[in-house]
A and B are shown apart, each in its own frame.
Chain A
Amino acid sequence: MIGKAATSLLFCTGVILLATCSVAAQQKSSCIECHLKLPGELGDPARSIKNDIHLSRGLSCNDCHGGDPTKDDKNAAKDRTKGYLGRPQTVDIPAFCGKCHNDASFMKKFNPALRVDQEKEYATSVHGRLLKTGNTKVATCISCHGVHGIRAVSDALSSVYPSNVAETCSKCHSDAARMAEFKIPTDQYAKYKSSVHAKALYEKQDLSAPTCNDCHGNHGAAPPGITSVANVCGQCHARQAELFQASVHKAAFDNKGLAECITCHSNHAISAPTDQLLGTGQTAVCVSCHKQGEKGFAVAGELRGMIDDLLARIDKSHQILDRAERAGMEVSRPKFELREAIDGVTHARVLIHSSSTAEVDKVVAPAVGITGKTYQAGIDALAELNVRRKGLVVSLFFILFLAVLVYLKIRQIERRQPA
């Protein structure tokens, strides 16, 4: 018994010692030891590396920069003839990271699910193409991912965690001075922050809400082509995109060089759409192209009219049913049925992307039918109330008749009685 306990204790101690040794062996890094003693820029890498995902996977300075971490002598450790690479040039950074990250069989050892084409994608991006021309002002791997304290994308503190991406991009893209030579606007971040997507991501903490990279791509970052915006938005807004692409607007937009989806909904400052966006009113987007007299103008007006009409009918039904309910009538079934009509409104608001009154009518017509039924149910309930009143009149008649009879009885009795 004691023998067994002693053996297991010995075993455990041995394992711990071994682990510590291996860690110590792993941690023998003259790079870090020396650079930790240095101030400022020279010492920062050593200080921030402790959070780095590469370090936690057993990789160290030499795995990227080359050199010999076992040597304490600076020249021996940083011998260029022995493979020391030093600090890479900005234009070389993608290839520097790509040394490992392009190698499928190498990456497999760490995360089999990771993609290995980031460098290739990057080359197609605006950043990559400009970098090739020698412009070092553009973003490279380290601009977004950090350089020595790189965290995994799934780490909430990572600069490329979904809720941090927009801020990371805006570090350059909101800097007017920096972006001046590229001649693109710098208000995207501000606009995005006001959007309904940002609200979902930051306030509702919905990590599936889109941020910069979801529409623009992360490594192959580029604005989507005008004719393919619907595909991008359609990743989530599938139904609307599908309807749009089957509608007359697709060809019209592509021909006119109008960006799909964005023309009506904006690209960065996307706000929650309301019925006001549709139709021929001042706030409607339809009238920015369609003028009075055109078919499009008429259709826009019709679509808005259909929805407004349905909403008005639903409201009417609601009011009469509420009235009946407050008066004490049982109307839970018509109220239940009214929900289907409300469904119709939600559905119609999606179907307007087909720009076809026939399509929208397919859901609006049955909904209108339902509101007709529910309104009638409300009328019936109030009529039943009236029946009660009539029933009352009858019973009142009997009661008063009885009262009169009692009065006559009194008269009769007192006529016989002496005063």
Chain B
Amino acid sequence: MTVDTLKSWLDERLSISSLGYAAQKKEVPLHRQSIWYYFGGMTLFLFVVQVVTGILLLLYYRPSSENAFESVQFIMTEVKFGWLIRSIHSWSANLMILTLFIHMFSVYFMRAYDRPREVTWVSGVVLLLLCICFGFSGYLLPWNEVSFFATKVGTEIAGVVPVVGKTMLRFLRGGDEVTGATLTRFFGFHVAVLPAMATVFITVHVLLVQLHGMHVPARYQQTHRRMKFFPNFFLRDLIGWLVAIGVLAALAAIFPWELGVKADPFVPAPAGIKPEWYFLFMFQTLKYIPAKILMFDGEVIGIMVFMLAAAVLFVIPFINRSPEQHPRRRLIFNVLGGIALLFMAVMTVIGYFA
């Protein structure tokens, strides 16, 4: 029984040789901006880390307000390497969102969403929103003081949206207040609903990337070299992923994710409560908006602006077409993108130290 016999057996049934052929053909363009190509794969890798560590945590976690905190404490103290798995899960979540933002901004500035890749971009924005939801729902699960109040504030803000806000708030919270019902619901979102949706959209996104190949920025169209994906680029990806594992293990051991104190719905919120860093820029911005703008509630305006920005994100490929004919438009979009990036960075820093 040789490798060849095995191969032809599988090929007859699963048509793997065509897959192998396609894999051999896959190439990655090489140019000065190729480094950004790593970030999509890195995000996917970190997502896989989340799935694996998440499933492991599922073996011990209990999603009820009486047991959740204790079960996480149990994982941290009694389960062998529980501290490692849990800390990796928490850190990898943050790292994934970071690489996701880098990936998104690099695609934006390189205009990789241009035709024919508009659907890839849209599916990517959906994935961005899904990952934010993953982060928000997962954050509540340890049911500690910080996460309780972060969820309270976060869902409160959702409730401020006009017309649908109240319904959204009740839907998210499973009631009018943040209770054990919220926890169970968020758990359901986090381990079932969101993974299912993410699987669909990741499949679409990755398949489309295979279909269209990597986008090359206009200025390198003529001058770029090519590199085979298997094994060359893939091995490079692997180095990145190994370094990521190392970083995660280091973070888990040197900066273990704290458990804090168990949530108590009747205790007033501790001073200086703030959400996770990827929400910080919005949180801080809302703080700066005056209470009233003309006759409207300042907070509502702020939230509507952010929602508008998210909506705009979806349609960018459709409003920024053929920049060759509109060079000024390209400049505007670059500048706007730069401003957005700067704004988010500055607000995050301020929010962190405020």
Contacts and interface: CB of A to CB of B under 8 A. Distances in A.
Q: Do chains A and B touch in the complex (CB under 8 A)?
A: yes
Interface of A: 325-330, 385, 388-389, 391-392, 395-396, 399-400, 402-403, 406-407, 409-410, 413-414, 417, 419
B290 interface: no
B243 interface: yes
Given A392-B249, A407-B239, A413-B231, A419 B256 contact: no
Given A328-B86, A329-B77, A396-B249, 11 more contacts: A328-B256, A388-B253, A391-B253, A392-B249, A392-B254, A395-B249, A399-B245, A400-B243, A400-B246, A403-B246, A410-B232
Given A388-B253, A409-B235, A410-B235, A326 B246 contact: no
Contact of B78 (A330, A392, A417): A330
Given A403-B242, A403-B243, A326 B258 contact: yes
Contacts of B115: none
B203 to A, nearest CB: 28
Contact of B249 (A325, A399, A406, A417): A399
Contacts of A327: 256, 258
Interface in B249-267: 249-250, 252-254, 256, 258-260
Given A327-B256, A328-B256, A414 B232 contact: yes
B83 interface: yes
B130 to A, nearest CB: 29
A327 B260 CA distance: 9
Contact of B253 (A389, A406, A413, A419): A389
Closest 3 pairs between A and B when the two form their complex, measured CB to CB = A330-B77, A392-B253, A328-B76
Nearest to A389: B253
Contacts of B246: 396, 399-400, 403
5 contacts: A326-B260, A328-B83, A389-B254, A392-B253, A409-B235
B236 interface: yes
Contacts of B231: 413
Question: Interface majority SS on B: helix, strand, loop or mixed?
Answer: helix
Interface string B289-321: 000000000000000000000000000000000
A328 B238 CA distance: 31
A392 B250 contact: yes
Contact of B242 (A325, A389, A399): A399
A122 B27 CA distance: 112
B259 A328 contact: yes
B155 to A, nearest CB: 26
Contacts of B258: 326-327
B238 to A, nearest CB: 5
Interface of B: 76-78, 83-84, 86, 225, 231-232, 235-236, 238-239, 242-243, 245-246, 249-250, 252-254, 256, 258-260
Contacts of B83: 328, 388
Q: Is the interface of A mostly helix, strand, loop or mixed?
A: helix
B57 to A, nearest CB: 14
A210 B259 CA distance: 47
A409 B246 CA distance: 20
B239 A403 contact: yes
Contact of B235 (A326, A330, A406): A406
Nearest to A403: B242
Central interface residue in B76, B238, B246, B249, by most chain A CB within 10 Å: B246
A419 B225 CA distance: 9
Contacts of A413: 231-232, 235
A400 B259 CA distance: 30
Contacts of A410: 232, 235-236, 239
Contacts of B249: 392, 395-396, 399
A402 B242 contact: yes
Given A328-B76, A392-B249, A406 B256 contact: no
A406 B239 contact: yes
A38 B252 CA distance: 92
Contacts of B252: 392
A395 B245 CA distance: 10
Contacts of B250: 392, 396
Nearest to A322: B261
Nearest to B81: A388
A417 B256 CA distance: 44
A142 B113 CA distance: 100
Nearest to A331: B77
A245 B175 CA distance: 63
Contacts of A399: 242-243, 245-246, 249
A366 to B, nearest CB: 28
A413 B19 CA distance: 23
A382 to B, nearest CB: 12
A244 B18 CA distance: 97
B90 to A, nearest CB: 12
Nearest to A390: B253
Most buried by B among A328, A330, A396, A399: A328
Nearest to A404: B239
Contacts of A407: 239
Contacts of A417: 232
A399 B240 CA distance: 11
Contacts of B235: 406, 409-410, 413
Nearest to B240: A403
A26 to B, nearest CB: 58
A232 B83 CA distance: 59
Query: Could you say which of B76, B225, B252 has the most chain A C-beta atoms within 10 Å of its C-beta?
Result: B76
Contacts of A329: 77
A406 B237 CA distance: 10
